[in-house]
Structure 1
Amino acid sequence: MHEHVRLTAWVRGRVQEVGFRWWTRSRALEIGLVGYAGNLGDGRVQIVAEGAREKCERLLQLLREADTPGRVDGVTEIWAAPRAGYAGFAVR
């Protein structure tokens, strides 16, 4: 059985006002994750994704690749147990 997890990632760089959240939403939905991507006041984007661990790891890998909108300077993540309650993947 696949372990379900909650990934919270903070992405820094030029990631606001470049379509980054919408790009992240599209990738998450393609992979089959639920959660959200939202802008933070300090210029970072916070992503919360829940699903199978290997799917969350795939999203994390995509966030760190060069094909994202804008420019990613770094990604910090934490892992936790899923909390559920998400019906899809939202942009906040």
Structure 2
Amino acid sequence: MDPPRSSRAPLCQTLFVLQDNAPPVLPFDGCATRHHRLPYLDIPAEIQTEAGPAPDGALRLVATSRSAAVAPTAAGATAAAFAGLITALPSA
């Protein structure tokens, strides 16, 4: 078999994003606030996996996929594989 090839990856494109910035804080005297992360309207690849610090210091890992191109289970499997490889975030 010799299928025609393009410059794209044969299965899907995966983007891994490492956010090593501090979680956002909005201090108001006498009020409790928390950051609400909105979902992406679109992603530049079929699967995007983003890792970064959660407010409690834990690792936040989110996988987003284009469901028309990649099954959501594939995005979850990709996130699980990255989670198994990440041992610590770089210190800022």
Q: TM-score, normalised by structure 1?
A: 0.31
Of structures 1 and 2, the one with the larger relative CO (CA 8 A, separation 6+) is 1
The structure that is strand-richer by fraction is 1
TM-score between both structures, scaled by the size of structure 2: 0.31
- Larger Rg, first or second structure (1 or 2): 2
Richer in helix (by share): 1
